[in-house]
Amino acid sequence: MNKSKRAIKAIEAIENTLKVLDVNHHKPLIDLLNDYNYQLKTQVNYVPMLISLKNKISMCILDNKLKAPPKELNELLRALNLLLYTDPAVLLKNTIL
């Protein structure tokens, strides 16, 4: 899977998650995902963005005391992990470090 396909898969995963979030309960998370979704669509280097997004999702949940995030959010995090840690560039970087 090449870079563009991975970015497309990440965008799809984000958009699927956005469909189930409740604006009344998950507004900060929705804003975060919309921002990263836009960035993924407009920028080329998706790996740093996905790593940052994973960390910011966790911080957003904690900082805003969001209760009971939907299971789709866990699925999004798993999808991002899969996209990141099956990417040869990321695997090579982790091996070198």
Domain interval for residue 14: 3-96
Distance CA 53, CA 42 (A): 15
Q: What is the mean pLDDT of residues 59-80?
A: 86
Give the burial string for 19-50 (b: 16+ CB within 10 Å, else e): eebeeeebeebbebbeebbeebeeeeebbebb
Band of pLDDT at residue 76, cut at 50, 70 and 90: very high
Question: How is residue 86 annotated by DSSP?
Answer: T
Q: What is the pLDDT of residues 10-53, one digit of tens each?
A: 999 999 999 999 899 899 999 999 999 999 998 888 888 999 99
pTM, rounded to two decimals? 0.81
- Domain with 75 in it: what CATH number? 1.20.1440
How many domains, the chain? 1
